[in-house]
Amino acid sequence: MKVAVAKYAIQAPTDFAAFAERQARVLGDATAQGARIAVLPEYLALELAATFDASIQADLHASLLAIQRYRDDWLSLYARLAKELDLHIIAGSFLLAHGAGRYRNRSDVFTPHGTHAWQDKLQLTGFEKGLGVIEGGDALKVFDLDGVRCGVSVCYDSEFPLPVRAQAEGGARLLLVPSCTDTEAGATRVRVGCLARALENRIFVAQAVTAGEAPWSPALDVNTGEAAIFAPMDRGLPADGVVVQTTGDQRWAIADLDIDALDRSRAEAQVANDRDWVGQLQPALVRARVERFD
């Protein structure tokens, strides 16, 4: 299974047609390199706020409302590209109106066979909470993509072990992480979260990122980090857990992931965090006992 994760340089499309044309080029590039799954970054749909006037661009609440008019076009675009390119597309995320002035940070999944599914972001960052209009999702899913069971974990969600563990127990062998971070600390947090989830669950983790600067946008103004694919740090796998990552202006990090070989490697594992997970759930270990010294 060849997987591509994007280091996506944010731009300012003039209209939806320009946005769509770029998506076709970017994803076509991934297909030309043999990718079967392509992951785009979190908040991708906010790039469409650039198609409105400056007052809307500068106001995130107004931007969220304005981009809703593109929702149907968004769905049609990626459904078409998935079919034309014979590619599974994780289309970053779209801040989708959910009623009563609320939004969900939704990552859409499109298959070449015409299937559309999604995973909503579950945990909100301080920035998202501060907006007062975004809410977390209420369902956790896994998806079968060409016989490989995958989970989607949107940015901050990758820093929480239990939902990802539930996805792994649901059969996920590959975790797909659309992300967007504006500081080195934020980029490091998500990267470390991805490495930890790969280690704990003995799965591959594929992280896409935003890149560059967009001073016109309150949400996409500064972007950091490298797109990467991670694996458990064990015998026969990269010692630092990094299968591949972008550097410089490289757009895609692409790797051919052998899920069956990863599973077989359990027999020779130096550590087996996934199998030993239940050991930490012993009743005596669920809560720490306070030892007092007189």
pLDDT tens per residue, range 216-231: 999 999 999 999 999 9
Helices (H) and strands (E) in the chain, counts: 10, 15
Residue 104 confidence (pLDDT) above 90: yes
Q: Model-level pTM greater than 0.95?
A: yes
Residue 201 has, within 13 A of its CA and on its CB side, a CA count of 29
Q: Which residues contact 57 (CB under 8 A, 6 or more apart)?
A: 49, 50, 63, 216, 217
What is the phi/psi pair of residue 234, to 5°?
Answer: -155, 180
Please compute the mean of the pLDDT values over residues 275-293 and round it to a whole number. Answer: 92
Mean pLDDT of the chain: 96
pLDDT score at 221: 95
> Given this model, what pLDDT does residue 294 score?
80
pLDDT at 291: 92
Please check the confidence at residue 282 and state whether its pLDDT lies above 90: yes
Q: Tell me which amino acid residue 106 is.
A: R
**266 confidence band (pLDDT: 50, 70, 90):** confident
Confidence of residue 52 (pLDDT cuts 50, 70, 90): very high
Flag whether pLDDT at 268 surpasses 90: no
CA triple 95-100-104, angle to 5 deg = 20
